[in-house]
Structure 1
Amino acid sequence: MQWYEKLHDYFPEHEMKDPHQLVDLLEEKDDVYHIKETDNYIILYAEFTNFIFIDYLLVTPHSRSRGIGTKVLSTLKQKGKMILLEAEPDDPDYEDTRKRLAFYKKNGFKKAERIRYAPEDLEGHEYPMHVMYWSPVELEEEIIMGRMEKACKEIHNFKSKQYYGKILVDPDTALKLKH
Protein backbone atom coordinates (compact mmCIF):
# COMPACT_ATOMS: atom_id res chain seq x y z
CA MET A 1 0.00 0.00 0.00
CA GLN A 2 2.56 2.50 -1.15
CA TRP A 3 -0.27 4.89 -2.06
CA TYR A 4 -1.28 5.07 1.61
CA GLU A 5 2.25 5.98 2.68
CA LYS A 6 2.34 8.79 0.12
CA LEU A 7 -0.99 10.15 1.39
CA HIS A 8 0.12 9.78 5.00
CA ASP A 9 3.33 11.72 4.31
CA TYR A 10 1.35 14.61 2.83
CA PHE A 11 -1.94 14.96 4.73
CA PRO A 12 -2.18 15.96 8.41
CA GLU A 13 -2.51 13.01 10.77
CA HIS A 14 -6.02 13.98 11.88
CA GLU A 15 -7.26 13.82 8.26
CA MET A 16 -5.96 10.32 7.58
CA LYS A 17 -8.28 7.35 7.78
CA ASP A 18 -7.04 4.00 9.02
CA PRO A 19 -5.49 2.16 6.04
CA HIS A 20 -7.68 -0.89 6.68
CA GLN A 21 -10.82 1.26 6.56
CA LEU A 22 -9.72 2.58 3.14
CA VAL A 23 -9.04 -0.95 1.88
CA ASP A 24 -12.47 -2.04 3.12
CA LEU A 25 -14.08 0.94 1.37
CA LEU A 26 -12.31 0.01 -1.87
CA GLU A 27 -13.22 -3.68 -1.59
CA GLU A 28 -16.70 -3.59 -0.11
CA LYS A 29 -18.01 -0.41 -1.72
CA ASP A 30 -16.22 -0.94 -5.04
CA ASP A 31 -19.28 0.27 -6.92
CA VAL A 32 -18.99 3.65 -5.11
CA TYR A 33 -15.46 4.15 -3.72
CA HIS A 34 -12.52 4.27 -6.14
CA ILE A 35 -8.78 4.85 -6.32
CA LYS A 36 -6.76 6.01 -9.29
CA GLU A 37 -3.01 6.02 -8.90
CA THR A 38 -0.24 6.94 -11.30
CA ASP A 39 3.33 8.12 -10.84
CA ASN A 40 1.92 11.67 -10.89
CA TYR A 41 -1.16 11.52 -8.65
CA ILE A 42 -3.39 9.57 -6.30
CA ILE A 43 -7.10 10.18 -5.94
CA LEU A 44 -9.60 8.38 -3.72
CA TYR A 45 -13.20 9.36 -4.34
CA ALA A 46 -16.78 8.20 -3.97
CA GLU A 47 -19.14 8.47 -6.91
CA PHE A 48 -22.78 8.64 -5.93
CA THR A 49 -25.79 9.00 -8.24
CA ASN A 50 -25.82 12.79 -8.16
CA PHE A 51 -22.39 13.83 -6.84
CA ILE A 52 -18.74 12.90 -6.43
CA PHE A 53 -16.95 13.19 -3.09
CA ILE A 54 -13.17 13.56 -3.30
CA ASP A 55 -11.74 11.99 -0.15
CA TYR A 56 -8.04 12.47 -1.03
CA LEU A 57 -6.27 14.08 -3.96
CA LEU A 58 -2.49 14.17 -4.06
CA VAL A 59 -0.36 15.33 -6.94
CA THR A 60 3.13 14.01 -6.25
CA PRO A 61 5.73 16.68 -5.44
CA HIS A 62 7.72 16.12 -8.66
CA SER A 63 4.53 16.55 -10.73
CA ARG A 64 3.09 19.74 -9.21
CA SER A 65 2.57 22.90 -11.28
CA ARG A 66 2.26 20.87 -14.48
CA GLY A 67 -1.53 20.88 -14.82
CA ILE A 68 -1.98 17.29 -13.66
CA GLY A 69 -4.39 18.11 -10.82
CA THR A 70 -6.47 20.22 -13.20
CA LYS A 71 -6.64 17.29 -15.66
CA VAL A 72 -7.77 14.93 -12.87
CA LEU A 73 -10.52 17.35 -11.84
CA SER A 74 -11.52 17.92 -15.49
CA THR A 75 -12.00 14.18 -15.94
CA LEU A 76 -14.36 14.12 -12.96
CA LYS A 77 -16.17 17.26 -14.17
CA GLN A 78 -16.94 15.51 -17.47
CA LYS A 79 -19.31 13.23 -15.55
CA GLY A 80 -21.59 16.26 -15.14
CA LYS A 81 -22.08 15.78 -11.38
CA MET A 82 -21.44 18.13 -8.50
CA ILE A 83 -18.00 17.51 -6.96
CA LEU A 84 -17.59 17.92 -3.22
CA LEU A 85 -14.46 17.96 -1.05
CA GLU A 86 -13.02 19.19 2.22
CA ALA A 87 -10.10 21.63 2.42
CA GLU A 88 -8.16 23.06 5.31
CA PRO A 89 -8.62 26.79 5.91
CA ASP A 90 -5.72 29.06 4.97
CA ASP A 91 -3.02 28.78 7.63
CA PRO A 92 -0.23 31.38 7.37
CA ASP A 93 2.17 28.90 9.01
CA TYR A 94 1.47 26.21 6.40
CA GLU A 95 1.86 27.46 2.83
CA ASP A 96 0.31 24.33 1.30
CA THR A 97 -3.12 25.34 2.66
CA ARG A 98 -3.05 28.57 0.64
CA LYS A 99 -1.81 26.74 -2.47
CA ARG A 100 -4.51 24.09 -2.15
CA LEU A 101 -7.30 26.65 -1.79
CA ALA A 102 -5.94 28.65 -4.75
CA PHE A 103 -5.78 25.45 -6.84
CA TYR A 104 -9.41 24.57 -6.14
CA LYS A 105 -10.60 28.14 -6.76
CA LYS A 106 -8.66 28.22 -10.05
CA ASN A 107 -10.52 25.06 -11.02
CA GLY A 108 -13.94 26.59 -10.38
CA PHE A 109 -14.57 25.30 -6.86
CA LYS A 110 -16.44 27.50 -4.41
CA LYS A 111 -16.51 27.48 -0.65
CA ALA A 112 -19.94 26.67 0.80
CA GLU A 113 -20.17 29.91 2.77
CA ARG A 114 -23.12 28.91 4.94
CA ILE A 115 -21.83 25.49 5.94
CA ARG A 116 -19.74 25.26 9.10
CA TYR A 117 -17.82 21.98 9.10
CA ALA A 118 -15.74 21.03 12.12
CA PRO A 119 -15.10 17.31 12.54
CA GLU A 120 -13.23 16.04 15.59
CA ASP A 121 -9.93 14.20 15.68
CA LEU A 122 -9.64 10.94 17.61
CA GLU A 123 -8.91 12.87 20.83
CA GLY A 124 -12.14 14.86 20.48
CA HIS A 125 -10.60 18.17 19.32
CA GLU A 126 -12.44 20.02 16.55
CA TYR A 127 -10.58 21.03 13.43
CA PRO A 128 -12.46 23.35 11.08
CA MET A 129 -12.52 22.54 7.38
CA HIS A 130 -14.01 24.27 4.34
CA VAL A 131 -16.64 22.44 2.33
CA MET A 132 -15.69 23.14 -1.29
CA TYR A 133 -17.77 22.27 -4.34
CA TRP A 134 -17.95 22.52 -8.10
CA SER A 135 -21.24 22.14 -9.90
CA PRO A 136 -22.33 22.34 -13.54
CA VAL A 137 -25.56 23.99 -12.29
CA GLU A 138 -26.36 26.44 -9.48
CA LEU A 139 -27.13 24.64 -6.22
CA GLU A 140 -28.57 25.81 -2.93
CA GLU A 141 -26.31 25.21 0.05
CA GLU A 142 -29.03 23.06 1.66
CA ILE A 143 -28.46 20.55 -1.17
CA ILE A 144 -24.69 20.71 -0.69
CA MET A 145 -25.21 20.20 3.05
CA GLY A 146 -27.32 17.08 2.40
CA ARG A 147 -24.65 15.62 0.14
CA MET A 148 -21.93 16.36 2.68
CA GLU A 149 -24.01 14.55 5.31
CA LYS A 150 -24.24 11.55 2.95
CA ALA A 151 -20.43 11.59 2.44
CA CYS A 152 -19.92 11.65 6.22
CA LYS A 153 -22.33 8.78 6.83
CA GLU A 154 -21.32 6.52 3.94
CA ILE A 155 -17.59 7.25 3.57
CA HIS A 156 -16.11 8.74 6.76
CA ASN A 157 -18.25 6.56 9.01
CA PHE A 158 -17.98 3.33 7.00
CA LYS A 159 -17.01 0.73 9.64
CA SER A 160 -15.71 3.60 11.79
CA LYS A 161 -16.79 1.96 15.05
CA GLN A 162 -14.71 -1.07 14.09
CA TYR A 163 -11.57 1.00 13.43
CA TYR A 164 -11.92 3.92 15.87
CA GLY A 165 -14.44 2.73 18.42
CA LYS A 166 -16.76 5.60 17.51
CA ILE A 167 -18.47 7.44 14.69
CA LEU A 168 -15.62 9.20 12.88
CA VAL A 169 -17.58 12.26 11.70
CA ASP A 170 -20.99 12.81 13.27
CA PRO A 171 -22.82 15.00 10.76
CA ASP A 172 -25.25 16.16 13.47
CA THR A 173 -22.43 17.86 15.39
CA ALA A 174 -19.75 18.43 12.72
CA LEU A 175 -22.04 20.13 10.17
CA LYS A 176 -24.12 23.26 10.74
CA LEU A 177 -25.97 25.35 8.19
CA LYS A 178 -25.84 29.07 9.00
CA HIS A 179 -28.91 31.12 8.15
Structure 2
Amino acid sequence: MEWYEKLSDYFPEHEMKHPQQLKELIEENDYYHKEETDDYLMLYADFPSFVFIDYLLVTSNTRGKGMGTKILDRLKAKGKLIILEAEPVLPKDSDSERRLRFYYRNGFKKADLIRYVRRDEQDEPYTMHVLYWSPAGIPQAIVLEKMELACDEIHNFRSKRHYGRELVDLDEALKWKH
Protein backbone atom coordinates (compact mmCIF):
# COMPACT_ATOMS: atom_id res chain seq x y z
CA MET A 1 0.00 0.00 0.00
CA GLU A 2 1.96 2.93 -1.33
CA TRP A 3 -0.40 5.45 0.30
CA TYR A 4 0.37 3.96 3.72
CA GLU A 5 4.10 4.41 3.14
CA LYS A 6 3.51 8.10 2.32
CA LEU A 7 1.67 8.55 5.63
CA SER A 8 4.26 6.69 7.68
CA ASP A 9 7.09 8.71 6.11
CA TYR A 10 5.42 11.93 7.25
CA PHE A 11 3.61 11.25 10.54
CA PRO A 12 5.32 10.27 13.81
CA GLU A 13 5.44 6.50 14.30
CA HIS A 14 3.28 6.57 17.44
CA GLU A 15 0.46 8.26 15.46
CA MET A 16 0.34 5.62 12.73
CA LYS A 17 -2.32 2.97 12.80
CA HIS A 18 -1.68 -0.59 11.64
CA PRO A 19 -2.04 -0.71 7.82
CA GLN A 20 -4.55 -3.56 7.97
CA GLN A 21 -6.68 -1.63 10.47
CA LEU A 22 -6.81 1.33 8.06
CA LYS A 23 -7.58 -0.94 5.11
CA GLU A 24 -10.49 -2.50 7.04
CA LEU A 25 -11.77 0.92 8.13
CA ILE A 26 -11.86 2.06 4.50
CA GLU A 27 -13.34 -1.13 3.07
CA GLU A 28 -15.94 -1.88 5.74
CA ASN A 29 -17.29 1.47 6.91
CA ASP A 30 -19.40 3.79 4.78
CA TYR A 31 -18.34 6.75 6.92
CA TYR A 32 -14.54 6.28 6.57
CA HIS A 33 -12.91 7.53 3.38
CA LYS A 34 -9.52 7.72 1.71
CA GLU A 35 -8.92 10.44 -0.89
CA GLU A 36 -5.66 10.33 -2.79
CA THR A 37 -4.38 12.47 -5.63
CA ASP A 38 -0.90 13.47 -6.76
CA ASP A 39 -1.28 16.53 -4.49
CA TYR A 40 -2.67 15.12 -1.26
CA LEU A 41 -3.75 12.13 0.78
CA MET A 42 -6.55 12.32 3.33
CA LEU A 43 -8.21 9.72 5.52
CA TYR A 44 -11.31 10.95 7.30
CA ALA A 45 -14.63 9.92 8.79
CA ASP A 46 -17.81 11.68 7.68
CA PHE A 47 -20.32 11.12 10.48
CA PRO A 48 -23.86 12.57 10.32
CA SER A 49 -23.06 15.46 12.68
CA PHE A 50 -19.30 15.96 12.27
CA VAL A 51 -16.18 15.16 10.26
CA PHE A 52 -13.09 13.65 11.85
CA ILE A 53 -9.84 14.13 9.93
CA ASP A 54 -7.63 11.17 10.75
CA TYR A 55 -4.71 12.01 8.42
CA LEU A 56 -4.14 14.90 6.04
CA LEU A 57 -0.95 14.98 4.02
CA VAL A 58 -0.29 17.54 1.30
CA THR A 59 2.64 16.40 -0.82
CA SER A 60 5.88 18.33 -0.46
CA ASN A 61 5.77 19.67 -4.04
CA THR A 62 2.27 21.08 -3.41
CA ARG A 63 2.73 22.52 0.11
CA GLY A 64 2.38 26.27 0.39
CA LYS A 65 0.20 26.53 -2.72
CA GLY A 66 -3.22 26.53 -1.04
CA MET A 67 -4.12 22.87 -1.56
CA GLY A 68 -4.63 22.17 2.16
CA THR A 69 -6.91 25.19 2.49
CA LYS A 70 -8.95 24.03 -0.53
CA ILE A 71 -9.39 20.61 1.07
CA LEU A 72 -10.49 22.12 4.38
CA ASP A 73 -12.83 24.54 2.60
CA ARG A 74 -14.47 21.59 0.84
CA LEU A 75 -15.00 19.88 4.19
CA LYS A 76 -16.27 23.13 5.77
CA ALA A 77 -18.86 23.39 2.98
CA LYS A 78 -20.57 20.36 4.53
CA GLY A 79 -21.64 22.73 7.33
CA LYS A 80 -20.56 20.32 10.09
CA LEU A 81 -18.22 20.43 13.03
CA ILE A 82 -14.70 19.29 11.97
CA ILE A 83 -12.38 17.70 14.51
CA LEU A 84 -8.78 16.54 14.28
CA GLU A 85 -5.79 15.76 16.43
CA ALA A 86 -2.43 17.50 16.25
CA GLU A 87 0.70 17.06 18.25
CA PRO A 88 1.91 20.02 20.30
CA VAL A 89 4.89 21.92 18.97
CA LEU A 90 7.88 19.63 19.36
CA PRO A 91 11.39 21.12 19.39
CA LYS A 92 12.79 18.26 17.27
CA ASP A 93 9.93 18.40 14.72
CA SER A 94 9.69 21.66 12.78
CA ASP A 95 6.64 20.30 10.94
CA SER A 96 4.62 20.27 14.18
CA GLU A 97 4.66 24.08 14.46
CA ARG A 98 3.92 24.51 10.75
CA ARG A 99 0.94 22.14 10.97
CA LEU A 100 -0.58 23.97 13.94
CA ARG A 101 -0.13 27.36 12.23
CA PHE A 102 -1.85 25.98 9.12
CA TYR A 103 -4.92 24.85 11.06
CA TYR A 104 -5.15 28.07 13.09
CA ARG A 105 -4.88 30.10 9.88
CA ASN A 106 -7.82 28.07 8.53
CA GLY A 107 -10.06 28.93 11.48
CA PHE A 108 -9.47 25.91 13.71
CA LYS A 109 -9.35 26.39 17.46
CA LYS A 110 -7.60 24.37 20.11
CA ALA A 111 -10.07 22.74 22.52
CA ASP A 112 -8.19 24.20 25.46
CA LEU A 113 -10.59 22.74 28.05
CA ILE A 114 -9.90 19.18 26.92
CA ARG A 115 -6.85 17.18 27.99
CA TYR A 116 -6.00 14.42 25.50
CA VAL A 117 -3.25 11.98 26.47
CA ARG A 118 -2.70 8.74 24.59
CA ARG A 119 -0.27 5.89 25.15
CA ASP A 120 2.19 4.54 22.60
CA GLU A 121 3.21 0.90 22.01
CA GLN A 122 5.57 1.03 25.01
CA ASP A 123 2.71 2.39 27.17
CA GLU A 124 4.41 5.80 27.35
CA PRO A 125 1.99 8.76 27.51
CA TYR A 126 1.99 11.45 24.85
CA THR A 127 -0.19 14.54 24.65
CA MET A 128 -2.18 15.58 21.60
CA HIS A 129 -4.24 18.70 20.93
CA VAL A 130 -7.85 18.42 19.87
CA LEU A 131 -8.50 21.04 17.18
CA TYR A 132 -11.93 21.92 15.87
CA TRP A 133 -13.75 24.14 13.41
CA SER A 134 -17.44 24.86 13.60
CA PRO A 135 -19.79 26.83 11.32
CA ALA A 136 -21.35 28.29 14.48
CA GLY A 137 -20.14 28.66 18.04
CA ILE A 138 -20.13 25.28 19.71
CA PRO A 139 -19.41 24.35 23.32
CA GLN A 140 -16.33 22.25 23.93
CA ALA A 141 -18.57 19.69 25.67
CA ILE A 142 -19.91 18.81 22.20
CA VAL A 143 -16.35 18.63 20.84
CA LEU A 144 -15.43 16.24 23.66
CA GLU A 145 -18.50 14.07 22.98
CA LYS A 146 -17.73 13.84 19.25
CA MET A 147 -14.03 13.22 19.90
CA GLU A 148 -14.93 10.30 22.16
CA LEU A 149 -17.09 8.87 19.38
CA ALA A 150 -14.27 9.29 16.84
CA CYS A 151 -11.81 7.56 19.16
CA ASP A 152 -14.20 4.69 19.71
CA GLU A 153 -15.24 4.26 16.06
CA ILE A 154 -11.88 5.02 14.40
CA HIS A 155 -8.91 4.47 16.73
CA ASN A 156 -10.48 1.54 18.57
CA PHE A 157 -11.95 -0.09 15.45
CA ARG A 158 -10.69 -3.69 15.69
CA SER A 159 -7.73 -2.40 17.71
CA LYS A 160 -7.67 -5.47 19.95
CA ARG A 161 -7.16 -7.61 16.84
CA HIS A 162 -4.29 -5.46 15.54
CA TYR A 163 -2.64 -4.30 18.79
CA GLY A 164 -3.98 -6.58 21.50
CA ARG A 165 -5.49 -3.54 23.26
CA GLU A 166 -7.66 -0.51 22.69
CA LEU A 167 -5.63 2.29 21.16
CA VAL A 168 -7.49 4.93 23.14
CA ASP A 169 -8.71 4.21 26.66
CA LEU A 170 -11.72 6.52 26.68
CA ASP A 171 -11.83 6.64 30.49
CA GLU A 172 -8.24 7.90 30.64
CA ALA A 173 -7.36 9.67 27.39
CA LEU A 174 -9.99 12.43 27.19
CA LYS A 175 -10.64 14.54 30.28
CA TRP A 176 -11.71 18.04 31.20
CA LYS A 177 -8.78 20.18 32.30
CA HIS A 178 -9.04 21.42 35.86
TM-score, reference length from structure 2: 0.98
Aligned positions of 1:42-81 closer than 5 A: 42-81=41-80
Aligned positions of 1:2-151 closer than 5 A: 2-29=2-29, 31-151=30-150
Distance 1:151 1:125 in 2: 22
Flag the structure with higher strand content. 2
TM-score, reference length from structure 1: 0.98
Which residue identity is paired with 1:13?
E
SS of the residue corresponding to residue 35 of structure 2 reads strand
Which residue identity is paired with 2:24?
D
Shift, 1:172, TM fit: 1.0
Which residue identity is paired with 1:51?
F
Q: Deviations over 1:35-64 (max 9, x none)?
A: 100001000000111000000000011110
Distance 2:102 2:116 in 1: 20
Distance 1:43 1:89 in 2: 20
Aligned counterpart, 1:158: 157
User: How many percent of aligned residue pairs carry the same amino acid?
Assistant: 59
Distance 1:82 1:112 in 2: 13
For structure 2, the 5+ residue unaligned runs are: none
SS of the residue corresponding to residue 119 of structure 2 reads coil
RMSD: 0.7
The alignment covers a number of residue pairs equal to: 178
Q: Deviations over 1:84-118 (max 9, x none)?
A: 00001012221111100000000000000000001
